[in-house]
Structure 1
Amino acid sequence: MSLDEAVRRFLDTKPDSGSPRLPIGERRSIINQGSDRLFGMFGEPVAAVYAEDDVEVTRAGGPLRARVYRPSDATGLPLHVFLHGGGFWLGSVDERVNEAMCRQRCRDAGCVVVAVEYRLAPEHPFPAPVEDCYAALRWAVEHAREIGADPAVVSIGGVSAGANLAAAVALLARDRGGPALCLQVLEVPPLDLTLDTMRASGVGGGYGITVDEMRLCADLYLRSPADARDPLASPLLAGEVAGLPPARIQCAQFDPLRLDGERYAQRLRAAEVPVALHVYPGAVHGALALTGTWPPARTWHRDVVASLREGHTNRATHVAHPQ
């Protein structure tokens, strides 16, 4: 299957990761500005929701910033924690693409969304970002009623590196005794930072992300190569995945990380964890951002919204009517 013209134009326009000779901060600024330009060309902006407020997440080691999106002044709404992508060293809740995703999911799924500004590598390598995201999840649950949410109906999700972190936080929540999660939404997830699974995917270069680019991200994120085998860095390699929350995993056909998601879905199913896996035909790693120019990207987001609604409803029903 060949790529649609809108996807091909996106790949032809997408900038690379910048010169490694530049300071990290300067590279981040250039790439983040490029991300906003790309979204302006290919994405569909979403109007602000009822309330959007930056809050301070208290945690050991200093505060973190998070942005809380509320669809209305209602209380007791489902709670969704969102983790942005960016290869562990890029990205922000301020990026236009992340803003649009959070607004849409908040509005259309009728939930409170907490987007986390976790610390970035290499200044803050593994496992600092994982611990940041877990701390933000705990904060969101502890302060749920203050932000109009139900602390008993909670999901987590992320895109790309954010999906890796979401899967890791789900493992931590299970192993540390909570918070209880009703759903994990993993979009184009890199789940094996040894990159062995990515190399085995059979998907070549020219589709928005390569093994070499992912190696750069892993090298910046991990303290040493040995970290790549830690389950919190590579959830696919976790010794036990039973007891994890149900998962929605969305992968792109032309993404060398697709096999990560497929293999994780297999492992979860084997452990009797409910999984919905969908591979989107004609999509590449960044195609979910093409909401203004490529209709399947809008379908992608509608599917996430539907999974959030279903997962939140199932949990709310279970809580209201215990067996």
Structure 2
Amino acid sequence: MPLDPFLQPLVASMPPTPDEIADFPAFRAQEQQLGEAVYVPLMEAAPEIASRRVVGIPVDGGTIDVKVFHPFGEGPHPVHLYIHGGGWVGGSAKDKLIDIPCAERAAGADCVVVAVDYRKAPEHPFPTGLNDCYAALLWVVEHAEELGIDPDHITIGGGSAGGNLAAALALKARDENGPRIAFQLLEVPALDLTGGQPSYQRFATGYGLTLAMAEMCVRYYVPDPQEVTNPYASPLLAPDLSGLPPAHIMSAEYDPLSDDGELYAKRLTDAGVPATFSLQRGHIHVSATFTKVMAASRAWRDEVLTVLRDAHKTPAA
């Protein structure tokens, strides 16, 4: 399918992406401003929900924040642990760019959503972000009554780097006999940090996320090249994917990461894990949330909500 008509002038006007970042606080501030000025106006407003609140939780070496979104209605509710993207170096669970889709999931899938503001590279390289997400998963289970959630209905999800962390979190929870996860929803996930799949070259430039920027983010997140093939960094390269939670994986057609998602779904299926894959035709890496201006983005959101509603009906095995 051709690139969505709305995206054609957008990708043509996108500024070049950096190959290196000299000042990370300034980069993060600029990314937040870009999101507020360019991307948020392309999103439908967040639906009404019962409440939002930010909670600090302990992690190894410090604290992180999680943002908790409560739907209307009596609990206990299912819970969805959401991990935001940003190349492991940027983004925040407290950004409006993340607030809107989390509120949509709370309202549309009738679940409590807990968004994790994990620590960022390069100040906190691999595996700190993953460990923070695991600490958040444990915190959710430990505070189930306070949160009004059913710990037998835990789903996890994330986009881009967040999809990477969600997939790695599922592996870590399996390996460490951690909390049971009922389902994983991975959107535009980066699953092979070696960049070895053909789509990295096929869509290396011209579609927003470039190969050069993806490689830069990997260098900051995993500074030791020998760790890039660690399954917790590159879940697609894990030798054993059996025993993982069922998955639904959504990749954008015009995205360097598109092959990662499709191959991971196949590997999960081959390992006996129920997994489905959905290629979002006409999309680029960042266009899932453009719900105000793209019918295809509204369809993406509808698919997410349908998948989560279905997953929340079935507890983890």
Contact 1:39 1:96 in 2 (8 A): no
- The SS at the match of 1:179 is coil
1:130-209 matches, cutoff 5 A: 130-197=130-197, 202-209=202-209
Residue range with higher mean Cα deviation, 122-131 or 44-53: 44-53
Residue range with higher mean Cα deviation, 108-117 or 31-40: 31-40
The change in CA–CA distance for 1:20 and 1:194 in structure 2 (over 3 A counts) is: closer
The change in CA–CA distance for 1:143 and 1:124 in structure 2 (over 3 A counts) is: same
Q: How far has the Cα of 1:14 moved from its partner?
A: 4.1
Amino acid at match of 1:37: A
Q: How far has the Cα of 1:204 moved from its partner?
A: 4.2
Contact 1:198 1:257 in 2 (8 A): no
- The SS at the match of 2:40 is helix
CA offsets 1:54-99 (integer angstroms, 9 cap, x no match): 1111222111100000002522100100000000001011222211
The change in CA–CA distance for 1:103 and 1:198 in structure 2 (over 3 A counts) is: farther
- The SS at the match of 1:68 is strand
Q: How far has the Cα of 1:19 moved from its partner?
A: 7.7
Distance 2:52 2:139 in 1: 17
- The SS at the match of 2:302 is helix
Q: What is the aligned partner in structure 2 of residue 277 from structure 1?
A: 277
Distance 1:205 1:95 in 2: 27
Contact 2:199 2:258 in 1 (8 A): no
1:6-45 matches, cutoff 5 A: 6-18=6-18, 20=20, 22-45=22-45
Distance 2:10 2:302 in 1: 21
Q: How far has the Cα of 1:198 moved from its partner?
A: 5.3
Distance 1:19 1:178 in 2: 38
Contact 1:182 1:311 in 2 (8 A): yes
Q: How far has the Cα of 1:203 moved from its partner?
A: 3.2
Q: What is the aligned partner in structure 1 of residue 80 from structure 2?
A: 80
The change in CA–CA distance for 1:200 and 1:27 in structure 2 (over 3 A counts) is: closer
CA offsets 1:2-28 (integer angstroms, 9 cap, x no match): 222211233245444458464111111
Contact 1:81 1:114 in 2 (8 A): yes
Using the size of structure 1 for normalisation, the TM-score is 0.94
CA offsets 1:235-260 (integer angstroms, 9 cap, x no match): 00001000000001001111121100
Q: What is the aligned partner in structure 2 of residue 129 from structure 1?
A: 129
Amino acid at match of 2:166: A
Distance 1:182 1:82 in 2: 14
Q: What is the aligned partner in structure 2 of residue 238 from structure 1?
A: 238
- What is the aligned-residue RMSD (CA, Å)? 1.7
1:37-76 matches, cutoff 5 A: 37-76=37-76
- The SS at the match of 1:65 is strand
CA offsets 1:242-296 (integer angstroms, 9 cap, x no match): 0000001001111121100011011000011001110011111111021110011
Contact 1:18 1:27 in 2 (8 A): no
Among all aligned residue pairs of Structure 1 and Structure 2, give the percentage whose two residues are the same amino acid: 39
The change in CA–CA distance for 1:68 and 1:14 in structure 2 (over 3 A counts) is: farther
Q: Which runs of 4+ in 1 moved over 6 A?
A: none
Distance 2:117 2:302 in 1: 24
Distance 2:172 2:80 in 1: 17
Distance 2:49 2:162 in 1: 23
Contact 1:198 1:260 in 2 (8 A): no
The change in CA–CA distance for 1:16 and 1:143 in structure 2 (over 3 A counts) is: farther
* 2:263 corresponds to 1:263: yes
The change in CA–CA distance for 1:9 and 1:49 in structure 2 (over 3 A counts) is: farther
The change in CA–CA distance for 1:287 and 1:158 in structure 2 (over 3 A counts) is: same
Q: What is the aligned partner in structure 2 of residue 287 from structure 1?
A: 287
Distance 2:308 2:263 in 1: 22
CA offsets 1:149-184 (integer angstroms, 9 cap, x no match): 111110100000000000000000000102100100
Q: What is the aligned partner in structure 2 of residue 321 from structure 1?
A: none
Gaps of 5+ in 2: none
Distance 1:274 1:249 in 2: 11
Amino acid at match of 1:217: C
Distance 2:19 2:180 in 1: 42
Contact 2:85 2:163 in 1 (8 A): yes
Task: Give the aligned length.
Answer: 317
Contact 2:204 2:212 in 1 (8 A): no
Residue range with higher mean Cα deviation, 1-10 or 307-316: 1-10
* 2:308 corresponds to 1:308: yes
Q: How far has the Cα of 1:39 moved from its partner?
A: 2.0
The change in CA–CA distance for 1:295 and 1:77 in structure 2 (over 3 A counts) is: same
Contact 1:17 1:31 in 2 (8 A): no
